[in-house]
Structure formats: C-alpha cells, structure tokens
Structure 1
Amino acid sequence: MSPAQFFKCLSDDTRLRCVTLLQKEGKLCVCELTAALALSQPKISRHLASLRQCGLLLDSRDGQWVYYQINPKLADWTAPLLKHALAAAELTEVFKADWERLQQMNNRPDTLMCC
C-alpha cells in the first residue's frame, strides 16, 4: 500500500472512526461498530468493505458473525501513523461519544453473540 492509498482510505470520517476504534479495541464485530458509531449497518459495512479492499483491514468469520481488525501485515511506516491518529482521535468529542456507546452496548459478542 502506498502512502497515498493509505491516506485515501482514512480520508473519510466514518472510515477513520472505524479504524480508530479498531486500533484501540483490536477486533470488533460489525454490530459493535454500528452501535458505537450510531450509523446503519449497511453504511458501516460499505465502509468496512472499502477498508478491507485497500488492505487496511482484515475480516474473519465466527459462525454468522464477521469481525474486523487492522491488518497486522501493513508496512512498518503505518504503525506510528495509526498510533498517532488514535491518540489525536481520543481527544475528540466524537471519539469519546463513539467509545462511550461501545462501552455501554449490551450483548457484545464477547459476552453474548449479538450480530
């Protein structure tokens, strides 16, 4: 992935919000991202597909559930950028609200299969 592709993938607000939550949490189910961002499942899925197609995310299935995580095989130069993006995002009210909604979500996949 070139730097231009990397930044293009993150240039959308919804995609950046997904990636920052994934950077903080490690792995999330589509339903968790939908609840955290307070957006529709089709919108979240479309953005996750875009991030997967550019190679930034990987998906995995566990039965009927689809989980996403940041691709661990990204170029080394991407790690500090993602780390700094998360640090900056954590200071914003949008991220704080997303994080709070995620933490308050009932029936998260790790406790009860929700999606």
Structure 2
Amino acid sequence: MDAITVLSALAEPTRLQALRLVWDGREHCVCELMQRLGATQSRMSRHMAVLKAAGLVVDRRDAQWVRYRRAQHLPRALIKLVDAALALPTARERQVA
C-alpha cells in the first residue's frame, strides 16, 4: 500500500462513506452498503474493490454476497490518516450546518 493509492481511495465521497461504515470493525454485507449509500451492486463492488486494493478493507464471500470489514494490522500512521479523513464533515454535512 502506498500513499497515493490510499489517498486516491479516500478522495471519492461514496468510498469515504463506505469506509466510515466499515471502519467500526464489524462485517458489513455489500447489500447493506448498497442500501445505506444508495448505490447499485456493481457501483458498490467497484468502490469496495478500490478500498481493498488500497489495503483498507478485506472481504469474505458469503453465498451470493460479499462481506467487508476493516483490514487488520494496519500501520498506525495509516489508521491516523483514515481517522482524520473520517472526522472531516462531508459536503452534505457542511451544507446543513
């Protein structure tokens, strides 16, 4: 995992929102992510593939669905970077404020 790949993965709003959900450490079915983020299955799968390629999440196939969770044993600096990105308000949150 390199900084550009991770930062690029975090730069897309849907991926950042998906990571926010998965960052709790529990497993989340792609169907849950689709519903919560209003994304199609193919779109959600593409976003999760980017997060997986960046080393931020891991997946597990469960029959027809794939379940995602936060990757274990991430470097402390990377955890701090993601935590900082997740702490920033989204564009929607800034509009409401």
TM bucket (normalised to shorter chain) is: 0.7 to 0.9
**When the two structures are aligned, how many residues end up with a matched partner?**
93
Q: What is aligned with 1:48?
A: 48
Q: What is aligned with 2:88?
A: 88
Distance 1:81 1:69, change over 3 A: same
CA distance in 2, matches of 1:35, 1:55: 24
8 Å Cα contact 1:9-1:50 kept in structure 2: yes
Q: What is aligned with 1:4?
A: 4
Q: Which amino acid aligns with 1:55?
A: G
State the SS of the aligned residue for 1:33: helix
State the SS of the aligned residue for 2:60: strand
Q: TM-score when scaled to structure 1?
A: 0.68
Q: What is aligned with 1:67?
A: 67
Q: What is aligned with 2:14?
A: 14
Q: TM-score when scaled to structure 2?
A: 0.79
Unaligned residue ranges in structure 2 (runs of 5+):
none
Q: Residue deviations 1:63-91, cap 9 Å, x none? A: 3331101211322211122223333348x
